[in-house]
């Protein structure tokens, strides 16, 4: 019985590895992601561990999937693209707004020194924290709260990634970005195609914003909206 169980477990693990490799080849590399560190990270992080058990079998579709509380884990290609746009390395400290499942944080944590991540829905923050610690990601610090205000006490950051859409770039996040830093954020109205924007702060603190591509993200909610629920 024990042996059989072990065999089944190993077989399904190998199956997920094969599916992950296929996804990386077909939806990440073939779609133009070139950063070797990003590709390596996408090959490493087990997305099946970040989705609800009933959706495990869909973990390697190049799609967003529901994670409860009306929220989603982002599409793998978009995770890879946003990570590549940040141009981060092993010396960097990154702030993520919108922890969700913790998957994007894990993809970053494979590359950078430290990831700080903020989630407004407390049960999601709690389950992501548990998941990330059980997977051994000791360089990710999770916080519950409204990420609109960033994390003043840990700032400034080399890069900031926002994984929920806002109708404007939150000024506190721009302030908390280092000179020479990069921020990736979807900007637009809730539930309409938004524009993924890359904000680059130069060495003197000047900001330029580039439009990357249309995307659909869940909205960046505010504590005041949530109190009305
Ligand atoms: N990065 C996530 C995807 C998250 S979906 C992943 O890899 O799974 C967007 C998340 O942003 C949701 O979990 C939502 O609750 C959260 N969110 C929305 N508004 C927020 C805010 N003001 N502060 C922090 N998190 C927020």
Mean pLDDT of 99-125: 98
Query: Is pLDDT of 31 > 90?
Result: yes
186-208 pLDDT, tens digit per residue, is: 999 987 899 999 999 999 999 99
- Ligand 1 centroid from CA 61, angstroms: 21
* Bridge partners of residue 94, in order along the sequence: 115, 159
List the CATH code of the domain at 64-226: 3.40.50.150
**Pocket mutation for ligand 1, best pick of 73, 101, 120 (most atoms within 8 Å of C-beta):** 120
Q: How confident is the model at residue 228 (pLDDT cuts 50, 70, 90)?
A: very low
- Catalytic positions, written as ranges: 74
Domain positions in the chain:
64-226
- How far lies 42's CA from each of 67, 153, 174, 190, in Å? 19, 30, 28, 28
Residue nearest to atom 18 of ligand 1 (CA): 220
Would the CB of 146 count as within 6 Å of ligand 1?
Answer: yes
Q: Ligand 1 pocket, 103 CB below 6 A?
A: yes
Find out whether the beta carbon of 78 lies less than 6 Å from any atom of ligand 1.
no
Residue 3 is predicted with a pLDDT of: 52
For 65-97, the pLDDT digits (tens) are 999 999 999 999 999 999 999 999 999 999 999
Q: How far apart are CA 97 and CA 108, in angstroms?
A: 13
- CA-CA distance, 101 to 142, in Å (whole number)? 11
Q: Which residue has the CA at smallest separation from atom 16 of ligand 1?
A: 98
**Dist. CA 95–CA 5, nearest whole Å:** 40
**Do 36 and 179 meet the contact criterion of CB atoms below 8 Å apart?**
no
- Mean pLDDT across the stretch 124-143? 98
First to last CA, the chain: 49
Sequence-ordered list of residues with C-beta below 8 angstroms from that of 150, at least 6 positions apart, any chain: 95, 97, 118, 160, 170, 172, 173, 175, 176
pLDDT at position 13, please? 78
Quick check: 7 pLDDT over 60?
no
Average pLDDT over residues 9-14: 66
- Would you say 198 and 221 are in contact if contact means Cβ atoms under 8 Å apart? no
Q: What does pTM read for this prediction?
A: 0.94
């Amino acid at each position: 019985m024990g042996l059989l169980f072990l065999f089944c477990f190993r077989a399904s693990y190998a199956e997920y590895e094969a599916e992950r490799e296929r996804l990386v080849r077909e939806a990440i590399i073939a779609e133009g992601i070139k950063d070797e560190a990003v590709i390596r990270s996408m090959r490493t992080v087990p997305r099946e561990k970040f989705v609800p058990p009933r959706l495990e079998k869909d973990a390697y579709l190049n799609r967003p999937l529901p994670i409860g509380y009306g929220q989603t884990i982002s599409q793998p290609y978009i995770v890879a693209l946003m990570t590549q746009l940040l141009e981060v390395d092993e010396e960097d400290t990154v702030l993520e707004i919108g922890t969700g499942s913790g998957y994007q944080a894990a993809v970053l944590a494979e590359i950078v020194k430290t990831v700080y991540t903020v989630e407004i829905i407390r049960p999601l923050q709690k389950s992501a924290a548990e998941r990330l610690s059980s997977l051994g990601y000791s360089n990710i610090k999770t916080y519950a709260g409204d990420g609109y205000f960033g994390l003043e006490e840990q700032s400034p950051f080399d890069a900031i990634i926002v994984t929920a859409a806002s109708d404007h770039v939150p000024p506190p996040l721009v302030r908390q970005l280092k000179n020479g830093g990069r921020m990736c954020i979807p900007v637009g109205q809730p539930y309409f195609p938004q524009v993924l924007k890359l904000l680059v702060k130069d060495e003197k603190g000047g900001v330029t914003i580039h439009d990357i591509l249309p995307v659909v993200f869940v909205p960046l909610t505010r504590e005041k909206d949530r109190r009305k629920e």
